[in-house]
Structure 1
């Protein structure tokens, strides 16, 4: 169960690295505008600074999870689990904020939050057993 929890958290981290890419690097691209519904290049350009910053939040959460997985793999289970729970738990919390503040973005909130939530739950069960 521990490995399954770590794999799920790792997948969530990869999703958040992709979100970082879209927000911080490719924000004004056609693909990012379609995914985030920003419309025109001009609208995206006006939001670019905020998106750039937000993208780094997603990257830092992914890094925390990645480091946690690495620490867990080298036998530092307490440090590893703490980092995974912190990173993935923050992903879940952010998805809940999105869901509650913008119910019309429920699909995006679920895409961002379900996998890390499953990772946290499965890892917690695996550690408890």
Structure 2
């Protein structure tokens, strides 16, 4: 594996961990005051109102992280490396596009979009540079 691919895999792993953490916040720890305040909500009643949406959104983040993990595992397998790149690129691109949707829907969420999107963007760029002849 080339240095670019190793760096891409490292950033992809970081992106996956960030998305697993977001899953944890949105789908497991949502009812905790620290969690819903982190998402800009002002009361337990507000948190309870959006809890079903947050729960669902958390699983989207988990599935994106799983996609990155599956892609990385397949890349390590010499017989399925090409499929692994396809899965990895699709998962990373989905993470980046989700961050774009977040910032375009509410520019005040630029920090959240950056947290969600910078690592997968770097991983995606490095992977594409490494595999494009």
TM class by shorter chain equals over 0.9
Partner of 1:21: 24
Partner of 2:52: 49
5+ long unaligned stretches in structure 1: none
Task: Tell me the matched-pair count.
Answer: 129
State how far apart, in whole Å, the 2-side matches of 1:84 and 1:32 are.
29
Higher relative contact order (Cα pairs below 8 Å, separated by 6+ residues): 1
The runs of at least 4 consecutive aligned structure 1 residues that moved more than 6 Å come to none
Question: What is the TM-score with the length of structure 2 in the denominator?
Answer: 0.93
Q: 1:128 offset after TM fit, Å?
A: 2.5
State how far apart, in whole Å, the 2-side matches of 1:88 and 1:10 are.
10
Partner of 1:88: 92
Q: 1:34 offset after TM fit, Å?
A: 2.5
Partner of 1:103: 107
Question: What is the TM-score with the length of structure 1 in the denominator?
Answer: 0.96
